[in-house]
Amino acid sequence: MAAEEETPRQLLDGVRAAMSERDLPGAEAKLKQVAALRLPEELGVEAERLQVLFKYLIDFWHAVDDAGKRLQAGEHLTFGDAHVAVIEYGNGRIVVRALGQNRRYTLKTMPTKLVMKLATRTMNPKSAANKVFLGTYHALDAKGDRGEARRLWDEAQRGGEDVSQIMPELSVAAAAPETARPPLPGTSPPPPTPPRRVEIPPLSATGKLILAVDQWTSRRRTATQWVRSPLGEMASNTRDGRLGVAIPDVERGDVQVLFARKLTANFGCRVLLTELPPGQVFGIFPGSAADGGHVVPLPEGTALVEFARFAGKYRARVNREEVAVESTEGTPATLEGFVGFSLSPGTGATVAAFELRGS
């Protein structure tokens, strides 16, 4: 049986879903479908509001892209706890260098802190009018903060901007991604995806020994090179033996938290990290003072990382999903070094479990 056309409600929800995923052409296409319909008054008001918000969002992303085009290679950016150097920007893609690694983002994958850093280079964040645009991002984007949207729109209202038409959007449930939306009538729903929960296991006596503070070290960036030193007061063991790490905000850049055994051949490790801040990486880093490494990006929150090297080839999974290992240019495949993860100044995380095989 042929699938039925989307209802007006499904189209409006689809507009929100597309905007939340930064799919502006998709949102525009659905808005055109909506515009061709005769809607009841309530849905008509909603459609007009989404059309206004879409125009704000288009201008917002143009501002982000314009700011990116003005970046200079080698320019340094600080957003939140991250400190990066710009390598290049073009066609909506940015490459930055942090912790000796190149990190690549598109307009669709940029973290919110980087998005807002670029947006506010073009849009004065103190302007009441610009707070409408900045708030629109937070209200609609999957990575936005609706509390921040309300704050910005309230301030815009006090500054003389009329946000009465768009403010009701904050009372609408946040958009679900397209993969999470109900199937169309006449179609079969996709099979349910089982949740991928990461359980925190109890620690054995051996596990507690591996997580002892003196089994770990740090690697910091000075003005000229990387240096290794004890974790010292940056780390402590919890009552149940986990390793908690907190990086002072006075550090000049990201700190690498490393297991203290040097690896020279094949190895495999499994680590469970919790309370991770955004923008961090896990991998193997040089034992020398040089830049370099082979790493995988980490999600915010909890990460179960499986990372292995065999015959100079790397494989990794994060939260049971296969991920690509990124290598710094010039880093040998058989790098002799230490496995660990990065933390930005003023942040912290917990190593809840760690296993290592190989040498």
Distance, CA of 248 to CA of 345 (rounded, Å): 6
Domains and CATH numbers, the chain: 8-180 (no CATH), 205-358 (2.60.120.560)
pTM of the model: 0.52
Q: Mean pLDDT across the chain, nearest whole number? A: 87
- The mean pLDDT value for 169-189 works out to 57
Confidence of residue 211 (pLDDT cuts 50, 70, 90): very high
pLDDT at 116 over 90: yes
pLDDT of 101 over the 90 cut: no
**Segment 214-268, tens digit of pLDDT:** 999 999 888 788 899 999 889 999 888 999 999 887 777 789 999 999 999 999 9
Give the C-alpha separation, 306 to 308, whole Å: 7
Which has the closest alpha carbon to 313: 292, 333, 293? 333
pLDDT at 198: 63
pLDDT, tens digit (0-9, with 9 covering 90-100), for 37-83: 898 888 899 999 999 999 999 999 999 999 999 999 889 888 666 67
- Report the C-alpha gap between 80 and 138 in whole angstroms: 16
Residue 188 CA, chain-centre distance (Å), reads 33
- Residue 3 pLDDT > 60, yes or no? no
Rounded Cα distance, 83 and 99, in Å: 9
Rounded to whole angstroms, how far apart are CA atoms 242 and 345? 21
Distances (CA, A) of 328 to 72, 90, 283, 292: 21, 20, 11, 5
Q: Which residues of 184-202 are buried (b: 16+ CB within 10 A; e: fewer)?
A: eeeeeeeeeeeeeeeeeee
| Rg, the chain, Cα only | 24
Give the pLDDT of residue 330: 85
Q: What are the phi and psi torsion angles at 190 (to 5°)?
A: -65, 155
Determine the Cα–Cα distance for residues 52 and 222; give it in Å rounded to an integer: 49
- pLDDT band of residue 165 (cuts 50, 70, 90) is very high
